[in-house]
C-alpha cells in the first residue's frame, strides 16, 4: 500500500485554479520531490495533504486514511516542517518540543527530546528561547519538531531554505539517515535542485497547478538532454525545452 495516494486533486479559489486535477502516489521509504516555480501549486498541494486546506475535488489517502473523513488518524503518524511556520519564540527549544510531544502523545517525552537533541546537535540549545536562535538553528529545531513522533510520512516545504551549505548538508544527511532507518515516505517541495537530485527518487514538475512532467532525476536529465535538474526546471518553467 502506498503511503500517500492523490487522485484527481483540484483546488480552486474563485476563478483561480491553484491545483488542477493532479494525481500521484508515494511509496513507503520513497522521497518524492515536488518542483515548480512560485505559484505552481506546491504549497497548496502540501496544505491539502496536511488537511489544512479542503480540496475542491479529488481524494487524498495517507497511510490508508481518507483525509476528508479520517484525517486525525493520519495526522498522528505524519509531520511537517517549513521555514514559513514558526514555533513560539518565547518558549525555549525544550519547551517547544515538549508541547509537540504532548500533542502527538509521545511516550517517554524527555527521552525522545534527548534523542533528538543528540542526533541534531541541539543539546546546547534546549534551554534557549526559540526566538533567539539563528536561522540554521531554527531549522534544526523545526526538523526535531517534525520528527518528534517518528512520522511514517514527512512533508517538507523548503526544509533548507536560507541555510548555509554546512547546515543544509547536515539536514540532508539526517533526512537520508532517518528515511533509511524508518522507511518514512517523504514529500519534499524545494527550489534547491542539487538537494532534489540528492534526496529524491522521483520528481513531480508542477506548473500552473498541473503536473507537467515526472520521473526520476536521471530520467528527466536524459529526456531533456540536460546536465543538471536546474536546467530541466528552467526548460519547463520557461517553456523553452521539450522532453525527447
Partner 1 sequence: MIPAGRRIWGLMYRHIALYRRSWPRLLELAYWPTLQMCIWGFTASFFAGRTGSAAAVTIGGLLGAVLLWEVALRSQMGVAISFLEEIWSRNLGHVFVSPLRPWELVAALIAMSILRTLAGVLPAVLLAWLLYAFNMFSLGPALILFTINLMVMGWWVSLGVVSLILRHGAGAEALAWSVLFGITPFAAVFYPVSILPPYLQPVALALPAAHVFEGMRAVLAGSAFPWGELAAASGLNLLWLAAATLLFARQFHAARVRGALLSIGE
Among 8, 102, 108, 177, the residue binding partner 1 under the rule CB under 8 A is 102
Among 160, 228, 155, smallest CA distance to 188 is for 155
Q: For residue 50, state whether it binds partner 1 (rule: CB under 8 A).
A: yes
Strand partners, 57: 10
Q: Which is nearer to partner 1, 44 or 160 (CB)?
A: 44
Angle, CA of 167, 173 and 179, to the nearest 5°? 135
Contact 58, 9 (CB under 8 A): yes
Among 6, 22, 26, 87, the residue binding partner 1 under the rule CB under 8 A is 87
Number of residues that bind partner 1 (CB under 8 A): 35
Residues 6+ apart with CB under 8 A from 94: 113, 126, 127
Among 44, 137, 139, 160, the residue binding partner 1 under the rule CB under 8 A is 44
C-beta of 243: minimal distance to partner 1 in Å? 32
Q: Which is nearer to partner 1, 77 or 202 (CB)?
A: 77
- Cell triple for residue 89? 519564540
Q: How many CA atoms lie within 13 A of 29 on its CB side?
A: 5
Among 57, 64, 90, 164, the residue binding partner 1 under the rule CB under 8 A is 90
Binding site for partner 1 (CB under 8 A): 13, 44, 47, 50-54, 72, 75-76, 78-80, 82, 84-92, 95, 98-105, 129, 145
Amino acid at each position: 500500500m502506498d503511503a500517500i495516494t492523490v487522485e484527481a486533486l483540484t483546488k480552486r479559489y474563485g476563478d483561480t485554479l491553484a491545483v488542477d486535477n493532479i494525481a500521484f502516489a508515494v511509496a513507503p521509504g520513497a522521497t518524492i520531490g515536488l518542483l515548480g516555480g512560485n505559484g505552481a501549486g506546491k504549497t497548496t498541494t502540501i496544505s491539502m495533504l496536511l488537511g489544512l486546506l479542503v480540496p475542491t475535488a479529488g481524494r487524498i489517502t495517507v497511510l490508508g486514511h481518507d483525509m476528508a473523513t479520517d484525517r486525525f488518524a493520519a495526522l498522528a503518524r505524519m509531520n511537517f516542517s517549513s521555514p514559513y511556520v514558526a514555533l513560539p519564540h518565547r518558549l525555549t527549544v525544550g519547551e517547544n518540543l515538549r508541547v509537540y510531544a504532548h500533542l502527538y502523545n509521545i511516550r517517554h517525552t524527555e527521552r525522545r527530546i534527548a534523542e533528538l537533541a543528540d542526533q541534531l546537535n541541539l543539546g546546547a540549545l534546549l534551554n534557549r528561547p526559540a526566538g533567539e536562535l539563528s536561522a540554521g538553528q531554527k531549522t534544526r529545531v523545526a526538523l526535531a519538531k517534525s520528527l518528534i513522533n517518528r512520522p511514517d510520512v514527512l512533508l517538507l516545504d523548503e526544509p533548507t531554505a536560507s541555510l548555509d551549505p554546512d547546515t543544509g548538508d547536515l539536514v540532508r544527511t539526517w533526512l537520508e539517515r532517518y528515511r533509511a532507518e524508518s522507511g518514512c515516505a517523504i514529500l519534499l517541495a524545494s527550489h534547491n535542485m542539487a538537494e532534489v537530485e540528492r534526496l529524491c527518487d522521483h520528481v513531480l514538475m508542477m506548473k500552473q497547478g498541473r503536473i507537467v512532467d515526472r520521473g526520476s532525476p536521471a530520467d528527466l536529465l536524459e529526456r531533456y538532454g540536460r546536465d543538471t535538474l536546474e536546467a530541466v526546471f528552467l526548460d519547463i518553467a520557461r517553456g523553452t525545452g521539450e522532453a525527447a
